[in-house]
Structure 1
Amino acid sequence: MPRHLVIGNGHIAIGFDDTAQIRDIYYPFVGELNHVGGHRCAIGLWVDGQFSWFRDPAWTFDIGYHEKSLVTRVLAEHPDLELSITSEDAVHQRLNIYLKRMTITNTADVAREVRIFFNNDLMISETEVGDTAVYDPERHVIYHYKRNVYFLFNGSTEGSRLFQYSTGVKRFNHSEGTWRDAEDGELMENPIAQGSVDSVISFRMFLKPHESQTLNYWMTIGSNLQEVSDLDDYVKDSGPNLLLDRVTVYWQRWADKSATWFADLPESVQNLFYTSLLMVRAHADANGAIVAALDSDILQYNRDHYNYVWPRDGALAAMTMSEAGYHGMVRPFFRFCAEALTEQGYLRHKYNPDGTPGSSWHPYIVRNERRLPIQEDETGLTLMALWRDFTHHQEIEFPQSVYDTLIRPAAAFLAQYIDNTLSLPKPSYDLWEERYGIFTFTSCAVYGGLMAAANFFHLYGNDYLSERYRKTAAAIHHGIMTKLYDAERGIFVRGLIQENGRWHQDKTIDSSVFALWAFEVLPPDDERVVRTMQAVEETLTVATDVGGIGRYEDDSYFRFSNADINPWFISTLWVADWKIAKAQALSDLAPARQTLLWVAEHALPSGALPEQLHPQTGEPLSVSPLTWSHAALASTVLHYIDRYRVLLNHSL
């Protein structure tokens, strides 16, 4: 199940399902650790002797965000219960406080008592072993803790506090969980439980016919009881309504920093642009980690997830955010990479959000052949992203701060990790993490990284190194032109694969060859690039009503049909980007505009973009939201606007 809503503040992140119920809580890093683990923190209501959880199919939901804000706006309705609920969820922009406001309307013609139940189903530090759930009679709150992680739950209605509570055992020894205690509308008020535990707290209100009242519910997170108690006092002293309203304003002010003229793009694309910037921000940790996704449901497939920092994904997201004006947000990413860089000068496959190496399936040895288990494009792209950030903002001091820790060692590695007989980078794994060889995408990223390094060395007065790396980049350029070009078909190939000691061209049509022009190896209107990108579009366009463009021929990842590959948002947007880059008249932008409309139409109702779509149904596949998808959408919108402005001026 995809995550339809994600909110956060750089220290905690929370994911919600399609019924607006919490499935993931990450702390103390965005993406690490998950204290819910995909289980459901359920919400239920009791009225007129009837009880219903939000997961019941009788509820209908309209899910989204407040305009230009990381504050949710959800409408839930249950015709049989005659209840309508508008809820808003937010994480305080600075403090570890989660806020929820529910406006509950009695749509019946009679007065009624309504009780609202919140099930707190935690597995602190990603295990249910050794948790404790406690009722504190002095503060009249429930808190859960284990070692140095504490969660405190509280709330209020208009004029009253928490009504009832209970704690108990869950998912152990035939115990389903304390949530079962709620279904008769009463809680047994068991004050403490340890082990695999959950808790429930309830609130009640008395509603006149067609009357609405507000319920506030909040959670504070910290490293000890005093910390979460102080945050609880802060919420009560400040007022939860005022705090939530301030969070809304904060994110709207944040989004307004990228305020721009949108040319002829429709409102749906404009809204998705802002949502995409906010989604990238929600997936960014304060220490610089930009995680790929926060959707823990991917665990069901291989017991691993996307909650890692792939330097490639992070670099591409950083390029977008820098171009959109968020230089301050991307600086920590480059510091993160500088600290993560190995002594040899390369970035590893992926990292945990705390900066430690992530899990990997790339081996160090295959058939007695030693390998460096990396995707070299990640190192090259990080340097390229850093240079593009400088060109956008001209802040000369920041690159200098990572000159010795990132720029020099990474450039030195790229310059020496070369097969001189081919004038190409030595073999590494491709950007899809599936095959080992020398690839066009990787070679272009290395070229771009070397050119970025040469520019930095020139900027800081080291003309010797600048010229040296320009010559090395020129050699890579020559290798791309001579070894990765299929003269017979007149297009560039995916890469080179070694068989029996000899290198052979991998002629699979792969959308990643967009790197040829995107990383400035060749101009977008070069006839070889044009033929290559046309081959990508013609071969990989999904021939169903869903449409879109796949990654590469015969892609098997999450494939459901032998007849069709799955459309990916990034691949589809790469082709649109190319059309934008080579457009010579406003009319040439029409296909790219149509692609942006297609993306908006295939986003989830909340605006979240998954990794890929089912080719027949259009349903989201793999994780959602995917940071890369949102970064690509925002980038394409920015490129469209810039090109539209240039062409409009030329036409005047």
Structure 2
Amino acid sequence: MISQERLQDHLRKKPYLVDAIAGNSAMLASLGNTGRLYRLWWPHIDFPQHVDEIRTGLLLDRTPGGVSWFDEAEAGWQHKAGYVPHTNAYRVSASRPEYPVKVEQTDYAVPGQPLFVRAYRLTNDGNEARNITFYYYGSFRIAENELYATTEFRGEQDALLHHRHQYAFAIGSSHECAGYQAGSGAWHAAANGELNGNEIDMQPDGAMFWTFANVAPGQTVELTIYIAAGHGRNEALSALAEAKSRPQSAWYDDTVSYWANYLAAAAPCPSNDPAIAELYERSLLAMKLMADEETGTIVAAPEFDENFSRCGGYAYSWGRDAAFVTTAFNKAGLGSLSEKFYEWALSAQDPDGSWQQRHYHDGRLAPHWGLQIDEGSSLLWGMWDYYVYSGEQQSFLDRVWPAVEKGAAFLVSYIDQETGLPKPSRDLWEEREAEHTYSAAAVFGGLQAAASFARRQGREDLATEWEQVARKIAESIEELCWNDERSSYYRGVKLTVSKGEYEAAIERGEAGHVFQRNKGYWKHVLEVDPIVDISLLGLSVPFGVVAVDSPRMVQTADAIERLLTSPKVGGIKRYENDNYIGGNPWILTTLWLSHYRTLQGRYEDARKLLDYAVKHVTPSGLLPEQVDQNTGETAWVVPLTWSHAMYILAVHLLAEKGQL
């Protein structure tokens, strides 16, 4: 367990909540609204992360008091930040009362290049000429490791070079630096504005500075910092040389054109409402950054809790999240990203046909809590959605069919013969074990999709078998999972609980049983889980086990809205008595109810739920996971890919009904 003191030091450098991301789908950075760069991943967007701390500051006329770090609000700097329209470039303007220099900083990663660009414009806003010295300090934890890094200054390339094992990062500029220091107390030296010229140290950090003499009042000078990555020193230095071979404006123009072409290839937003259209475009841009360029993996969010201090981490690929994201890509006309993801998904399937909870970009199993049966089911369902979108391409069917056949066979083998539902597994929130109603709906959807594939392959025998199992799941849900007392479906049956929870429930008159498992341990199981949960909407949307207008489904949706609406700020919580990060409303859950209300024909209600998401974007225009239940401010995870996907889907559902 990380110590509290060390955690606080870590959070000083890397807060849980970030303001923006920038990248090119191979390189990904998370940034604050002061322009501070918190994290940098390369060559994949989930792992490894390489930055400990990167800082930038100014020193005027060699005056006493040291460097003023303009990425620091505590030092009196004021910041205005936001994305450059129609791009994933992030721009911050910094100024400070009584300080004569203003800074404009633009961060972006160049598409197709292992290159992160930080472009600066320094403007003398005073009434006399100034000597402006720009300081850069960088501390790397290459491959998330604190040990055995080397930092050196390479005079021939005028660059700081950080390297460890197979990764290297070369830091240089469009201008020749005036001084440098590798290691040996680089932070304190930089803060004091006195670098000592040390050329190499087995330390992770270093600093450089550039001086602009006699900058006249009103004059602007430009400086670009390049962070070039490579597999080894030579690659990184070569990438830096390539960066310096062109003016920064050329890299910027290439980047702007790339994002313009990406957006042009997408279906236009089906709404003329400026706020809806703006978030639609930002969603497409953010979702692209969450899809790995090489492998196609789609991750849930950029990592922000690498010490697992408040959660189990987010920079992994969940089959369920990704299936919603790919359906959103399909709706937006970006199905090539879906196809690439499902090509990747084949590499993540286990030999028995299952897909486990979450994976790294290379298909390897990530840290997890055990099987979630809805993950693989969602992948089968998502594959079918893409197949239909693609015009039923036979080549795609031929590639995925072996995985579909194995995946469906595993689902069939995982049916509890007593209930007809999938056997106990973790729920979609990764918090409890049971035969969950949502998981059963997902398996129904996966088997129906697999049966459709089988029929296209001429395997009527398998199609019939899988459809029969799916029908039995639907029957079992109606027979076993309806809670007449609460006018809602049960969240699940056969819920595993602790001994204390079990004994308290039995005292309340609830039904359950205890049985012995491996090595003489005992398992305590309650017969039903009566908690109302937003995921119960999955019975209808998207998996279609229960009709939207079924009286039971209508009652369940109404119970969800009644019991889960956050009283102060609105929005829908995940479930009753949720205590994760305080139990806030989520964006994706609110949009999930919007999906249902749209299909139900309650368009005004659906639109209000959509508008809730528009209203609760972050200042940079991204969608978080959660909204603070008391203040309405962003509470957790920025951006959450699933939130953006549910938004795209909500927009299209309303548009298809002529309600936008």
1:453 maps to a residue whose letter is A
**Aligned to 1:534, what secondary structure does the other structure show?**
helix
Secondary structure at the aligned position of 1:114 is classed as strand
Q: Distance in 1 between matches of 2:151 and 2:19?
A: 29
Q: Does 1:516 pair with 2:523?
A: no
Partner of residue 628, structure 1: 642
1:407 Cα deviation after fit: 0.8
CA contact (8 A) 1:5 1:20 kept: no
| Count of matched residue positions in the alignment of Structure 1 and Structure 2 | 611
| Cα distance between partner residues in 2 of 1:399 and 1:418 | 28
Matches within 5 A, 1:317-396: 317-360=325-368, 362=369, 373-396=370-393
Q: Which runs of 5+ in 1 are unaligned?
A: 170-176, 363-372, 560-564
SS at match of 1:402: helix
Deviations 1:257-298 (A, max 9, x none): 22424335x322221111122222112212122111213246
- Within the candidate set 280, 284, 291, 1:277 is matched to 284
In 2, the alpha carbon distance for the partners of 1:489 and 1:303 equals 31
RMSD of Structure 2 on Structure 1 (CA):
1.9
The one-letter code of the counterpart of 1:234 is: E
C-alpha displacement at 1:601, in angstroms?
Answer: 2.3
What's the CA shift for 1:304? Answer: 4.9
Q: Deviations over 1:466-506 (max 9, x none)?
A: 22211221111111121112234432121113430676221
Aligned to 1:551: 574
CA 1:614–1:288 in structure 2 vs 1: closer, same or farther (change >3 Å)? Answer: same
Alignment of 1:16-95 (within 5 A): 16-36=31-51, 39-48=52-61, 49=63, 51-53=67-69, 54-57=71-74, 58-95=76-113
Alignment of 1:415-454 (within 5 A): 415-454=412-451
- Residue 528 of structure 1 aligns to which amino acid in structure 2? R
Q: Structure 1 residues 204-213 or 422-431, which shifts more?
A: 204-213
Aligned to 2:474: 477
* Deviation (angstroms), 1:299: 2.6
* 1:458 to partner: Cα distance: 1.3
Amino acid at match of 2:557: M
* C-alpha distance in structure 1 between counterparts of 2:136 and 2:208, whole Å: 5
Structure 1 counterpart of 2:5: none
Distance 1:478 1:304, change over 3 A: closer
Equivalent position SS for 1:41: strand
**Which segment is superposed worse, 333-342 or 146-155?**
333-342
Aligned residue for 2:632? 618
Question: Are positions 1:5 and 2:20 aligned together?
Answer: yes
Residue 575 (structure 1) shift:
0.9
Given the alignment, which residue of 506, 516, 525 partners 2:529? 506
Deviation at 1:320, TM superposition (A): 1.3
Note if contact 2:34-2:92 (Cα within 8 Å) is conserved in structure 1: no
Q: State the secondary structure of the residue aligned to 1:374.
A: coil
CA spacing shift, 1:550–1:642, aligned 2, 3 Å = same
Letter in 1 for 2:37: I
Aligned to 2:260: 252
Once the two structures are TM-superposed, the CA of residue 557 in structure 1 deviates from its matched residue by 0.8
Shift of 1:97: 0.7
**Partner AA of 1:526 in structure 2:** S
The answer (yes or no) to whether the contact 2:142–2:164 under 8 Å persists in 1 is yes
Q: Is the 8 A contact 2:267 2:333 kept in 1?
A: no
Partner of 2:247: 239
1:533 to 549, 557, 560: 557
Whether 1:641 aligns to 2:641 is no
> Does residue 593 in structure 1 map to residue 607 in structure 2?
yes
Work out whether residues 101 and 241 of structure 1, in 8 Å CA contact, stay in contact via their aligned partners in 2: no
Q: What SS does structure 2 have at the residue aligned with 1:332?
A: helix
| Contact 1:551 1:568 (8 Å CA) reproduced | yes
Q: What's the counterpart of residue 121 of structure 2?
A: 103
* SS of 2:629 mapped into structure 1: coil
Report percent identity of matched pairs: 28
Cα distance in 2 for partners of 1:259, 1:332 equals 19
Give a deviation string over 1:225-267, Cα, whole Å, max 9, x none.
Answer: 2212222222222322211221112012202222424335x32
- Write the letter of the residue equivalent to 1:110: E
Q: Give distance in 2, aligned partners of 1:303 and 1:201.
A: 37
- For residues 375 and 609 of structure 2, what CA distance do their matches in structure 1 show? 27
TM-score by length of 2: 0.89
- Residues 422 and 440 of structure 2 are in contact (CA less than 8 Å); yes or no, is this contact kept in structure 1? yes
2:168 aligned with 1:150: yes
Does residue 492 of the first structure (1) align with residue 493 of the second (2)? no
Per-residue CA deviations over 1:95-128 (Å, capped at 9, x if unaligned) read: 1111121122211111112121121110111112
What's the TM-score, normalizing by structure 1? 0.90
Map Cα deviations across residues 535-586 of structure 1 (whole Å, 9 max, x no partner).
Answer: 1011000111x22110000011111xxxxx3111111111111111222xxx
Aligned to 2:105, the other structure's residue is in SS state strand
Q: Structure 1 CA distance, aligned partners of 2:308 and 2:81?
A: 25
Please identify, of 413-422 and 182-191, the stretch whose mean Cα deviation from structure 2 is larger.
182-191
Q: Deviations over 1:437-482 (max 9, x none)?
A: 1111101100000010011111222222122211221111111121
Equivalent residues in 2 for 1:169-208 (5 A)?
Answer: 169=184, 177-195=185-203, 197-206=204-213, 207-208=215-216
> Structure 2 vs 1, CA of residues 304 and 133 (structure 1 numbering), >3 Å: closer, same or farther?
farther
| Structure 2: runs of 5 or more not aligned | 1-14, 496-511, 515-524
Counterparts of 1:439 and 1:254 in 2: how far apart (Å)? 39
Q: Aligned partner of 2:637: which letter?
A: V
Post-superposition offset of 1:359: 1.0
Q: Report what 1:123 is aligned to.
A: 141
C-alpha distance after superposition, 1:386-414 (max 9, x if no partner): 11111112141343243344211001111
Task: Judge conservation of contact 1:323–1:389 (CA < 8 Å) in 2.
Answer: no
Q: Secondary structure at the match of 1:40?
A: strand
CA contact (8 A) 2:33 2:92 kept: no
1:313 matched to which residue of 2?
A: 321
Please name the residue that 1:173 is paired with: none
Contact 2:269/2:277, CA 8 A, preserved across alignment: no
| Structure 1 residue aligned with 2:462 | 465
Q: Answer whether contact 2:46 2:303 (CA < 8 A) is retained.
A: no
Deviation at 1:512, TM superposition (A): 0.6
CA–CA distance in structure 1, aligned partners of residues 154 and 435 of structure 2: 61
Q: Is the 8 A contact 2:33 2:80 kept in 1?
A: no
Aligned to 1:174: none
Distance in 2 (CA, whole Å) between partners of 1:198 and 1:3 is: 23
Residues 337 and 406 in structure 1, CA contact (< 8 A), matched pair in contact too: no
Q: How does 1:389-408 map to 2 (within 5 A)?
A: 389-408=386-405
Mapped to 1, the partners of 2:433 and 2:476 lie a distance apart of 18
| Separation (CA, whole Å) in 2 of partners of 1:398 and 1:214 | 51
Q: 1:457 and 1:470 mapped to 2: Cα distance?
A: 11
- State the SS of the aligned residue for 1:425: coil
Distance 1:133 1:94 in 2: 26
Moved more, 445-454 or 328-337: 328-337
Shift of 1:526: 2.2
Deviations 1:22-58 (A, max 9, x none): 111112221101112xx43111111242631121421
Tell me the distance in 2 between the aligned counterparts of 1:21 and 1:511: 37
Higher relative CO (Cα under 8 Å, sequence separation at least 6) belongs to: 1
- In the other structure, the counterpart of 2:509 is none
CA gap 1:465/1:12 in 2 versus in 1, 3 angstroms? same
